[in-house]
Each structure stands twice: as structure tokens, then as C-alpha cells.
Amino acid sequence: MTAPLLETRNLSKQFIVGSRFSSLGLRVVHAVDNVSLKIMPGETVGLVGESGCGKSTLGRCITRLYDITAGELYFEGVDISDKSMRQMRPLRRRMQMVFQDPYASLNPRRRVRDLIAEPLRVHLNLGETEVRERVRKLLEVVGLSPDHMERFPHEFSGGQRQRIGIARAIALEPSLIVADEPVSALDVSVQAQIVNLLADLQERLSLTYVFIAHDLSVVRQISTRIAVMYLGSIVELGLARDIFARPSHPYTQALISAVPQPDLKRAGERKRIILTGDVPSPIDPPQGCRFHPRCIYATDKCRKERPILLPLPNGRTVACHYPLNGTV
Amino acid sequence: MLEVKDLRISFRTEHGRVRAVDGVSFDVAQSEILGVVGESGSGKTISLMAVMGLINDPNAVIEGSIKLRGRELIGLSQRQMRGLRGREIAMIFQDPMTAMTPVYTIGWQIAEQIRAHEKIGRRAAFARAVDLLAEVNIPNPKEAIHRYPHQLSGGMRQRAVIAMALSCHPALLIADEPTTALDVTVQAQILDLIRKLRRDHKSAVVFITHDMGVIAEMADRVMVMYSGRIVERGTKAEILLEPRHPYTKALLDSIPPLEGEKPKRLRSIPGSPPSLFDLPKGCSFAPRCPWRFERCAEKPALEGGKHAAACFLKAAS
């Protein structure tokens, strides 16, 4: 068996909010709570869940943009949980991020040439001609033309800007790319282009992706495995095609059933579960199973005992006392 | 209920005139939901802002006719429009936070809206606000009226805005991407709510979205817009099952499926929507269209009766 490219062991991230002087005092937000996840080389792991479930925070912990509060984090076999920013620097070449908003993540005062050259200049000791040549190649790889080099970000459409963001991310030939909602800000017709580009690049450069998105059909398309998160924890983990065909956690089932689909022929067959209420606050999460206040199958056991992630016979890992098909 | 004929909206800018909407005609009947689909810059929002009389830009030129229950809206003064807005037409927006003022409680804001249109006491208006919040399924409405917008979650805030929009039983409700900023689970709740309101109040609804899935759930009839024009219109089944315009077809094809076999690659539309400053001479979609031929250098008209498409392909084949 190959070693995982990245592994988290009981990783937690807490934020302190509020003020000592407010009536509520300082409060702790458990944004990511005890997440253990192995990411194998060459695969794409999709992180899904509602807003506030901790998927973006987990993505930022993985790349150490955030310091982690507890737990361990291994990248290419090395423990990077406590590495300082300086010690992280050489590793940053190997792990890169692509962000949601291509309008906000590119410096508007710099030309595309410099934007893409920046990581090369920071990390590699190359001559200017070599840098230029690489930038030209990168632009081609992401489907832009070399004429675009001298332009500024505002001269591009959203899709093209996201291509520039991707070019920056792959410039140093990383092994891991964490993409946080890379297509959510784009029009539907352009979304498909970027999803295809990411899939092509993965094959060409043998990349590993962590793909964070709230759009379930996009995540299903690009992911090998999917981790469903709820209130900071993973509640279900398994192969993308299995999870969508037969969800085991009631939350996954409700989430998938809520997605409106343009398929009129099958509209009658689909059963819709409408969850009531909102996601509870991660400051004061419910006792027992964190999903129980919104779960249609909840029992007394769910209200008292918090289920742990356990493997099912079908290869899935689920945190539920009563998984939907097969028993623990 | 609403009849829009040959609506044209353009803006005078320093780079010349920009035509944002170019000859758009549509109508909506009582208890009907008309879905409007299109990408950013397609003119879907601006057309309906014109219906609301919300285009205040002095450089905007609005031509054509917008009739609500037979009454012409173009040319009405701001004051006359203000009398109609809220009472006859209401609009809900993508971001509920911008639709409310942060400095007053939601109960105050709903009551104010009612009192602007009806002769009714403060206490009675607040009582109506409580009923409205209950109608949109906000738990504990008696307490909720004392909350400020920032104290509510996104879904609850959108419900409060819907309650405000419904306060005077408008004949026409315009919903501009009301669920885009919400999670799917909350989106399902809000869509359910809008359907229920259509049933109970027999309002006409214009539902603007870019999500074909939402169209499938909500709309009776659909119009598809591309760079300021309607490229196809028909019933929901016609548009989703037998799309005639290559753009509609491509849009449907580019959505990854949620069931069945995963396609190896998604079918995407090459390029990006054209800039309104520099529209192609003929069909605006032609540069991205895999089926374009010589005739596409002319502008196609929207033809074909009820299920109409603005494309020469049908005529050629």
C-alpha cells in the first residue's frame, strides 16, 4: 500500500471570538473538530457541507495557512503540525491553494507576467529569460495565450482570471492543490471549462486535489472520494459515486435530496427531505449526535451519545448510530 | 398581469452607448411562475429592475412598454411608482442583508412598509407583521419582530424579506436569485415557501436564476436570455427536454449530473459571454456556437409561436 500524501490525525482548530468586556465574554468556536483524514497521491478528495461546517477552515489548516489547535498533520510523511512559517516555506512549493474569488486573489496593479512569475522568483533561483519562458508555458497549459502576459487582471473575464490563479498554483509543480470553491463565482458555461481544466492538469502533472465546494454536482464530477462535514466533523466518507447513489448518513441523504435537478424525467422518482431549521452554532453544539435536532430518524440514543466514525461493510465510513444501509 | 413589449434599455457611457436590453417582450399571468435564466450580463436583472422602476441612472434610456394590469409603467413619476411598489409589485433580492436597514428591527421595517400603503395604526401594523413572519415559517414570530437583521441567519433573513414583500399582497412578485446565497438545504425551504405563496395568494412570480435545477422545480414557463435578448422561450418541459437554441442546449449539457455514470469530461461552452461594448454584429452567441453558419452574421428574430427560439438553425434544416 502506498503512503498517504497528506494525513490529519484528530486535527482540531478553534477560534476565540468575542471580547473579555462583552456580556458574553470570550467564547470558543470549534471550527474543525477531531478530523482524521488520509489523502492518497493522485486522488481528489471533495469536502462538502453547508456554510459554517468547517470545510474551508480544514482546507486552510491542511496548507498551514492557519495554525492548528490540536492533533497532527503529516505531509509526504513529515510531521508539519508545529512547523514555523519559516520552516514551512520550502514545503509551500509542494502544496498550493486556488481560491474562490479570482477578482480578489490577484493583485490588480500587477501584470499577468509578474503575477505568474512571482512564485518562481520567490522559490527558484532562475534567470529572467528562464522565468519568462516558464510563464509562457504555464499560460499555454491553462489555456491562455502568451499575448496575455502584459495585461492586468481587470482585462480578463472571471473564467480567465481563475485560469491565471491556477497557473500561479501549478507554477512550482506542487504535489497537492487545495482548491477552495474554485468555480462558485463563475457562470455555469464557464464552470465546466474550469472543471475540465483541473481534471486535465491532474492527469498531466499527477496532482492530488482537495476540492472544497458547496455545489454537490460539481464535487461529484471531480472527486474520487468525498468527505461530508457537519459542524466541524466528518460525518461520512466514501467513494464519490457510491455516496451519491446510496448515502449512509441521514445528513448526506438530506443534502443530496435538496439539490434541485434539471432532469424532469426523473423528477417524480426523487424523494425530497427538507431539513428544518438551520445549522446549530459551533460555539455551543448540541449534545450527542450533532445532527440529531434536524434528523428525521433521531432516537434517544442520538440525543445522548455522540457517534464516532466507523467503517461499514460497504467500504464507507460513517458517524451515525443508525446508518441507512447496512449496520456498523 | 404583466405585459412587457419590446423593452430596450441602454446606457450612455464615455465609450458610447451600451445596449443592456435589446427588444425583450414577455408576459406573466396570475398564479404563474415565469423563470428567467441567463448568465451575468445577460440583462435578466436589469429588465426586471426596469419593471420595478428602480433604474435611477440619469444616463439610462428606457424604451418600449411595461404594462401592469393594463396600466403603463414607463413614464410614471418616482412618486407614482412608489405608490405601486410594495403594494402591486414587490421584489426580493439575492442578498437579504442589503434589502433591510441594519438599524431597525425587522418588525419595525415590516410595519413601516404596511403603514406606507395603508391607513392603519402602529399596533395593528405590528400585529400584521407577526402574522406575516408566522406565515413564512419563522419560529417564534412574536419575539422575532424585535430582532435586528444581523441577529438572523441567512435563511431567516430571506424569509423576513419575503414577509416584507408580501405585506401588502402584491399582484406580482419579482424574485432575483433569492436562493443563490443560501445553502441547498435552506434553498429547498425557501423554494417551498415561494411555491406555497403562489398557491395561497395567486400572485404572479418572475423568478430570475442561473440554476437550471431551480428552474425545473419552480417555473411554469421559461425564458432564456443571452447578452440582452431572449434567445428561447417556452414551457418548462419544452425548454428542459427539447431545447431548440444551441445556447440552451449547451447550458443544459454543461451541468454535471448528480446520478448515473460520470462523464469523462463535461461538455463546456468555449469562450465567455461577449462584452456589451463589443457585441457581434449578427447572433451574439455565434462566436461560441458549434453550429454557426453564414446566416448567423444576421440577427435572428425570436420565432416559432409559443416555443420560440432566436436561431436560424431550425429554418435551415
How deeply is B164 buried, as exposed, middle or buried, from its count of CB atoms within 10 A (0-12, 13-18, 19+)?
buried
Lowest mean pLDDT among A266-270, A304-308, B186-190: A266-270
- What is the rounded average pLDDT of the residues A170-177? 94
Question: Inter-axis angle of helices B154-166 and B106-117, to 10 degrees?
Answer: 20
pLDDT tens for the 317 residues of chain B, in order: 899 999 999 999 888 889 999 999 999 999 999 999 998 889 999 999 999 998 888 899 999 999 999 999 998 998 999 889 888 999 998 888 888 899 999 999 999 999 988 899 999 999 999 999 988 888 889 988 999 998 888 888 888 999 998 888 889 999 999 988 888 888 888 898 899 888 888 889 999 999 999 999 999 999 999 999 999 999 999 999 999 999 999 999 998 888 888 888 888 888 888 888 888 889 999 999 999 999 999 999 888 888 999 999 875 55
- Joined together, the cell numbers standing for residue A61 give 489548516
How deeply is A298 buried, as exposed, middle or buried, from its count of CB atoms within 10 A (0-12, 13-18, 19+)?
middle
CB contact under 8 A, A258 and B272: no
d(CA B68, CA A325): 54
| Residue B178 dihedral angles phi and psi, to the nearest 5° | -70, -15
Which residues of chain B make contact with A221, given a CB cutoff of 8 A? 256, 262-263, 266
Q: Would the pLDDT of A326 be above 60?
A: no
Determine the 3-state secondary structure of A32 from DSSP: strand
Question: B255 at the A interface (CB within 8 A)?
Answer: yes
Residue owning grid cell 451519491? A244
Tell me what pLDDT residue B115 has: 92
d(CA B141, CA B285): 49
Q: Shortest Cα distance from B170 to chain A (angstroms)?
A: 27
Q: Shortest Cα distance from A273 to chain B (angstroms)?
A: 9
d(CA A255, CA A286): 19
| Residue A237 dihedral angles phi and psi, to the nearest 5° | -140, 130
B85 vs A276, higher pLDDT: B85
Question: A259 at the B interface (CB within 8 A)?
Answer: yes
CB contact under 8 A, A254 and B185: yes
Question: Is the Cβ–Cβ distance between B149 and B106 less than 8 Å?
Answer: yes
CB contact under 8 A, B272 and A244: no
Q: Tell me which residue of B218, B216, B183, B270 sits closest to A184, measured CA to CA.
A: B183
Tell me what pLDDT residue A249 has: 94
Q: Tell me which residue of B194, B207, B224 sits closest to B285, measured CA to CA.
A: B224
Tell me what pLDDT residue B40 has: 83
Asked if ipTM goes beyond 0.85, one says: no
Tell me what pLDDT residue B316 has: 54
Q: Would the pLDDT of A138 be above 50?
A: yes
Question: B152 at the A interface (CB within 8 A)?
Answer: no
Tell me what pLDDT residue A18 has: 80
d(CA A117, CA A152): 14
| Residue A227 dihedral angles phi and psi, to the nearest 5° | -110, 120
Q: Would the pLDDT of A102 be above 80?
A: no
d(CA B187, CA B127): 28
Q: Would the pLDDT of A46 be above 90?
A: yes
| Angle at A135 (CA atoms; ends A131, A139), nearest 5 degrees | 175
Determine the 3-state secondary structure of B125 from DSSP: helix
Cβ neighbours of residue A307 closer than 8 Å, sequence gap 6 or more: A289, A319, A320, A321
Q: Tell me which residue of A113, A254, B13 sits closest to A121, measured CA to CA.
A: A113
Buried b (16+ CB within 10 A) or exposed e, A13-42: bbeeeeeeeeeeeeeebbbbbbbebbbbee
* pTM of the predicted model as reported, rounded to 2 decimal places: 0.88
d(CA B86, CA B167): 8
Tell me what pLDDT residue A327 has: 41
pLDDT digits (tens, 9 = 90+) for A181-202: 999 888 888 899 999 999 999 9
Q: What is the DSSP code (8-state) at residue B257?
A: P
CB contact under 8 A, A190 and B212: no
- Chain B, residues 130-149, CB within 8 A of chain A, namely 139
Q: Which of B156, B187, B256 has the CB atom closest to A217's CB atom? A: B256
CB contact under 8 A, B256 and A221: yes
**Residue-averaged pLDDT of chain A:** 90
Question: A263 at the B interface (CB within 8 A)?
Answer: yes
Tell me what pLDDT residue A328 has: 37
| Cβ atoms within 10 Å of B56's Cβ, excluding its own | 8
Q: Which residue on chain A is closest to B257 by alpha carbon?
A: A217
Determine the 3-state secondary structure of B166 from DSSP: helix
Residue owning grid cell 408580501? B166
| Residue A113 dihedral angles phi and psi, to the nearest 5° | -55, -50
Q: Where are the alpha helices (DSSP H) in chain B?
A: 44-52, 78-84, 106-117, 122-135, 141-144, 154-166, 184-201, 212-218, 236-241, 246-253, 313-316
Which residues of chain B make contact with A262, given a CB cutoff of 8 A? 212-213, 215-216, 240, 252, 255
Tell me what pLDDT residue A27 has: 86
- What is the rounded average pLDDT of the residues A6-32? 89
Q: Would the pLDDT of A169 be above 90?
A: yes
